[in-house]
Structure 1
């Protein structure tokens, strides 16, 4: 059964850099976004290295063996007997390409498959997709102000409400936890790779927070993650619905504390790449 959920936001895209609302527009990572995804992938692969051992224990034919004339063969029983063999990790990504790229930056290091699921897609921003905040304000300053104040004016332009994206995200998480493919007795970590608004809204819903108060959590930075513990019992009795404890939020790899995370290292930035600047409402 799934007892841990990790949610990882995709790396930077050209739309992120320009502060354009992506929503469900399919935009790939830019060069800095790929670097971010790789750095988080390395950090998470190190942390969850047990998942590689688990995969090899379940597929012993994939364990590397030396030539037949070697003094010894690799001891397969070490993998089967390792505690890691008794856990499982599954990686599920939004079907938008930027999320898939980020998912593979982690999963490929451990030899894990990536399953795509459209339920993890970003919040739809309707007619506002592809626009900057300045462009939105020029079209309808009143709706822009309502969006900023969390009073729902953006929905007039077909933007998915905060409440709906939170409910959609939480329902997807609960459905995946209940999926028979993962509902056996094997303790399982589920890695969900997706989008900032979707993650924040889904976590808020799972924790029972007000959908329009979700800024209490703060926004997710590119290629950062959160982690929830999933509890299936209350005082030793089965719970009717899984319960969630938020144990990490907006966590970045250690390199983010020493490097310019949003702009990436200098040797990746060409002469025509603008610098990233914080969003100004």
Structure 2
């Protein structure tokens, strides 16, 4: 079985302020940069121990993910490519508002809503699922994807069934590594 790895970007200014970043830029904090270096060293140690193999890295074009990915790539000595499909979901009218706001939590359960000026969950699913299909088709490489919490939710849903509530509440912490395994071809 083949794996793909996922890391969420390090802590940002808006994470600290409990704001929804979405497609809006929010810089890494110094703690976020250190989180990126820590996860980079952890991945390198696991690679050196033969526990995992990564030979390609793709990241979101947004600076918080790109800067996290660059810190990791420098440690791993791996090539890094910007992948536009890893850009965080545009949460439209909710960007810059409280991440734990009741209205936003309910809105995330409506997969067709574009949040006024943003991107619907269904359109996000299309681009992330297409990307994961492309990664799977590249049998010669094993990828580390560096992106965002909204993207992590969609990646998780690609590999396991979730109901709407599970999907809406799923998330991973900053600079966390997750491993996903593509099922064997039938």
Alpha-carbon distance in structure 2 between the residues aligned to 1:111 and 1:41: 10
How far is the alpha carbon of 1:132 from its aligned partner? Answer: 2.4
1:108 and 2:74 aligned:
yes
Unaligned runs of 5+ in 2: none
Please give the residue correspondences for 1:137-216 in structure 2 after superposition, counting only pairs within 5 Å: 143-144=103-104, 146-147=106-107, 150-151=109-110, 155-178=114-137, 182-183=138-139, 186=140, 188-215=141-168
Secondary structure at 1:45 match in 2: helix
The whole-number CA distance in structure 1 between the counterparts of 2:99 and 2:27 is 21
Q: Match of 1:225?
A: 177
- Is the Cα–Cα contact under 8 Å of residues 152 and 171 in structure 2 kept in the other structure? no
Secondary structure at 2:114 match in 1: helix
Unaligned runs of 5+ residues in structure 1 are 52-83, 138-142, 235-281
Q: How does 1:49-128 map to 2 (within 5 A)?
A: 49=48, 89-128=55-94
Determine helix, strand or coil for the equivalent of 2:152: helix
Mapped to 1, the partners of 2:43 and 2:154 lie a distance apart of: 23
Tell me the number of residue pairs that the alignment of Structure 1 and Structure 2 aligns.
185
Task: Please give the secondary structure, in 1, of the residue aligned with 2:4.
Answer: strand
Tell me: CA distance 1:108–1:132, structure 2 relative to 1, closer, same or farther (3 Å). Answer: same
> In structure 2, do the counterparts of structure 1 residues 128 and 49 end up closer, same or farther at CA, with 3 Å as the change threshold?
same
TM-score (norm 1): 0.58
Across the aligned residues of Structure 1 and Structure 2, the Cα RMSD in angstroms comes to: 2.8
| Residues 1:25 and 1:144: Cα distance change in structure 2 (over 3 Å) | closer
Larger Rg: 1
Aligned equivalents of 2:76, 2:105: Cα separation in 1: 45
- For 1:220, what is the secondary structure of its paired residue? coil
